[in-house]
Amino acid sequence: MAALVADTLEKSFTTGTVRTDVLRGLSIRVDSGELTLVAGPSGCGKSTLLAILSGLLRPDAGRAIALGQDLGRLRARELEAFRLRHTGFVFQGFNLFPALDAVEQVALPLGYLGLSDAEARRRAIAALEEVGLGSRMRLRPRELSGGEKQRVAIARALAKEPQLLFADEPTSALDAGNGQIVIDTLHRIAHTHQATVLCVSHDPRLIAHADRVLAMEDGAILSDSRPNGAEGDSTA
């Protein structure tokens, strides 16, 4: 069973009297244990697709299914609990607290899962070590580079041990070297943890490092390919 399914998704936004169709009957299936990249120009609908599949946004029509759950059938509180238990998020802007060091940044959300302070700290340290920041875990954001900040954000998501990891433009604020480290880290997480990693980006540098690339334009999937393997299947 696919970890994520988009079934004929439709989504539009209205500004004043202008309606913009963002998703147009889009269907895809995304498997676990892979880094799947949705690539395309800004404004093509890829961030909207990620928001719907992660339960942050509801479609106008169609279904978004995650881990066998039809997200559209969940009440707001059930959806919030599902995201807390099963999903992790990595965003372009890092979203770190200036006053907290890296360990504290990563451990903080784990309290909402009911973990003890000791277990939260253990997981935080393990996650930071996994992303290569074991020697930097005592530092605050102002003492970290952009790439290190993004890896702290990845560790924060990873420490929850999510089955689904969503990344929205995770390398757009980074130079080539740090972008490479971040995408390699996400790729390794998908394979090591058998997680479903769905990344959206307009950064062409990411394409060669993804297991699967869905090229998107004008609210539709134009192609489905595997840079290092066989062609994929984009239909649900």
**CB 62 within 8 Å of CB 6:** yes
Q: For the whole model, what pTM was predicted?
A: 0.91
* Segment holding 122, helix H or strand E: helix 117-130
Single-letter residue type at 43: G
The pLDDT value recorded for residue 229 is: 65
The pLDDT value recorded for residue 205 is: 82
Alpha helix (H) ranges present in the chain? 46-53, 76-86, 102-107, 117-130, 146-158, 176-193
Please give the domain boundaries of the chain with CATH numbers for all domains.
4-225 (3.40.50.300)
| DSSP annotation string for 163-201 | SEEEEESTTTTS-HHHHHHHHHHHHHHHHHHT-EEEEEE
**CB 90 within 8 Å of CB 165:** yes
Please give the average pLDDT of every successive group of 10 residues along the chain, which has 236 residues.
94 91 94 94 92 95 96 94 94 90 95 93 96 95 94 95 94 87 92 95 87 94 83 44
Separation of CA 177 from chain center: 20
Rounded to an integer, what distance in angstroms lies between the CA atom of residue 47 and that of residue 167? Answer: 9
Residues found in the chain: 236
The pLDDT value recorded for residue 43 is: 86
